[in-house]
Amino acid sequence: MSKTTTDGHDEALNECLILFKDKNRNLNNVRYSFSIRDLENFSGIKAHTIRIWEKRYSLLEPDRTEGNQRTYDLHNLQKLLNIKLLYENGHKISKIASYGNDEINHMVTDIITSAEDAHKALDAFKVAMLNFDQCLFERNYIKLISNLSFRRVFMDVFIPLLEQLGYLWQANSITPAHEHFISNLIQQKILANIERVQVIQHHKDERVYALYLPHGEIHDLGLLYFHYELTLRGYKSIYLGQSIRLDNLEDVRNVYPSVTFVSYFTVKPEEVDMEAYLHDLEESIVNRPNDRFWLLGRRVVNLENSDFKGQVSVFKNLEQAVAELTE
């Protein structure tokens, strides 16, 4: 396997080639059943429009249930995402209807290869997810990172992708396996970038940051990315990880006289427990004058800084928190 000079990209592509040669691609042949509402959720194309394209141009080939409801297999869903890419890149639906499947696939590959904007990349990553296709994920990522910073890839592509997958999962359009597949690949990219900047950066003689997720919380991509931003800037960032109880933070405070704790609330604490958790946080963690606490995540978007003492800060999104680091 060749050595790489581009943050592991050559090595990743070599791994993909080995996988492609050695496996039968059985995962790609797994058949799922999707409703027309699932197709709408995945593609953003209204069900009414899908029905028109189907009736007028025979673009899709649904099956019918005993109740005469349309159902679509994985091939149909993939084809719709490909059609959307072609349509948004100037191809008329009537013309797309005249293309064979192989021709559509080749044209889509060309578009993905030349894609530089986030919108095209999102659909490409969805196709990779549906196929459990790490090679397609890698090709799309390498193209993006050759034109954009990792920050812009994460903020403009990965965050919207994860948000969309969250909605798809809630709507039962995908399974946890799909979400885990993509999440693990994104986590690999964050870790690779953290490792890269750890080698070249030196810690500033300033505030220590301690990052953790509350007890029961396992969604760590946002927090892990913030760890990357801190490391990039040379701050001392201590990543404690998932499911940490408040009393465990005392161990960090025993070592450092001034700490900014950062936490990301996605599903925990539960709404009924939030008030008590925040009270305990203020009373037990930020009771030293030089300590700070930064809150991010879905659970805190409705909170305001005015709800807390001056040592606690609420950020509506990651970009807002990152901007605070640059001030």
Reported as a single tens digit per residue, the pLDDT across 72-101 is: 987 888 888 888 888 888 899 999 999 988
Cα separation, 156 vs 148, whole angstroms: 10
Q: Does domain 201-326 have CATH number 3.40.50.280?
A: yes
Q: What is the pLDDT along the chain (327 residues), one digit of tens a residue?
A: 333 344 455 555 455 544 444 433 444 444 468 889 888 888 889 999 999 999 999 989 888 887 888 899 878 888 888 888 888 888 999 999 999 888 888 887 777 655 556 667 888 888 888 888 898 899 889 988 988 899 999 999 999 898 888 777 766 778 888 889 999 999 999 999 999 988 766 666 677 999 999 999 988 999 999 999 999 998 999 999 999 999 999 999 999 999 999 999 988 898 889 989 998 988 888 888 889 999 999 888 888 888 887 889 999 999 999 999 875
Q: What is the pLDDT of residue 3?
A: 37
Q: Where are the domains of the chain?
A: 9-193, 201-326
Q: What is the pLDDT of residue 77?
A: 85
Which numeric CATH code is attached to 9-193?
Answer: 1.10.1660.10
Whole-angstrom CA distances from 92 to 38, 81, 85, 190, 291 are 24, 15, 11, 38, 59
Cα separation, 292 vs 285, whole angstroms: 9
The DSSP result for 244-276, as a single string, is E-GGGGHHHHTT-SSEEEEEE-SS-S-HHHHHH
Instruction: Tokens for 166, please give them.
Output: 């969250």
Residue among 255, 254, 324 at smallest CA distance from 295: 324
Q: What is the pLDDT of residue 67?
A: 80
Q: What is the pLDDT of residue 170?
A: 65
Q: What is the pLDDT of residue 284?
A: 87
Residue among 224, 149, 211, 237 at smallest CA distance from 183: 224
Whether 9-193 shares its CATH topology with 201-326 is answered no
Q: What is the pLDDT of residue 211?
A: 97
Reported as a single tens digit per residue, the pLDDT across 179-227 is: 899 999 999 999 999 999 887 666 666 779 999 999 999 889 999 999 9
pTM: 0.75
The torsion angles phi and psi of 136, rounded to 5 degrees, stand at -65, -40
Cα separation, 318 vs 303, whole angstroms: 15
Query: Taking a C-beta distance cutoff of 8 angstroms, is the pair 295, 314 a contact?
Result: yes
Q: What is the pLDDT of residue 283?
A: 87
